[in-house]
Chains A and B, each alone.
Chain A
Amino acid sequence: DVKVTQSSRYLVKRTGEKVFLECVQDMDHENMFWYRQDPGLGLRLIYFSYDVKMKEKGDIPEGYSVSREKKERFSLILESASTNQTSMYLCASSLNWVAGLAKNIQYFGAGTRLSVL
Chain B
Amino acid sequence: KQEVTQIPAALSVPEGENLVLNCSFTDSAIYNLQWFRQDPGKGLTSLLLIQSSQREQTSGRLNASLDKSSGRSTLYIAASQPGDSATYLCAVLGGSNYQLIWGAGTKLIIKP
Task: State whether these chains interact.
Answer: yes
The answer to whether B44 touches A108, judged by C-beta atoms less than 8 angstroms apart, is: yes
Whether A106 lies near B89 (C-beta < 8 A) is no
A107 in the interface, Cβ–Cβ < 8 Å?
yes
A41-B104, A58-B99, A102-B52 known; A110-B31 Cβ under 8 A:
no
**Size category, A interface:** 20 to 34
Q: Which residues of chain B come closer than 8 Å to A48, judged between CB atoms?
A: 99
Interface check B112, CB cutoff 8 A: no
Q: What is the 8 Å Cβ interface bit string for chain B, positions 1-25, against chain A (1 contact, 0 not)?
A: 0001000010000000000000000
Is B93 engaged at the interface, CB distance under 8 Å to the other chain? Answer: yes
Interface size of B in residues (CB-CB distance below 8 Å): 27
Is B31 a contact of A102 with CB atoms below 8 Å? yes
Contacts of B42 in A (CB 8 A): 110-111
* Contact call A106/B100, Cβ cutoff below 8 A: yes
User: A104 in the interface, Cβ–Cβ < 8 Å?
Assistant: yes
Chain B residue nearest in CB terms to A41: B104
List chain A residues, Cβ under 8 A from B49.
103, 105
Q: Is there an interface contact between A113 and B41, defined as CB atoms closer than 8 Å?
A: yes
Q: Produce 1/0 per residue, A81-104, CB < 8 A to B.
A: 000000000101000010001111
**Residues of A that sit less than 8 Å from B by CB:** 4, 6, 40-45, 48, 56, 58, 90, 92, 97, 101-111, 113
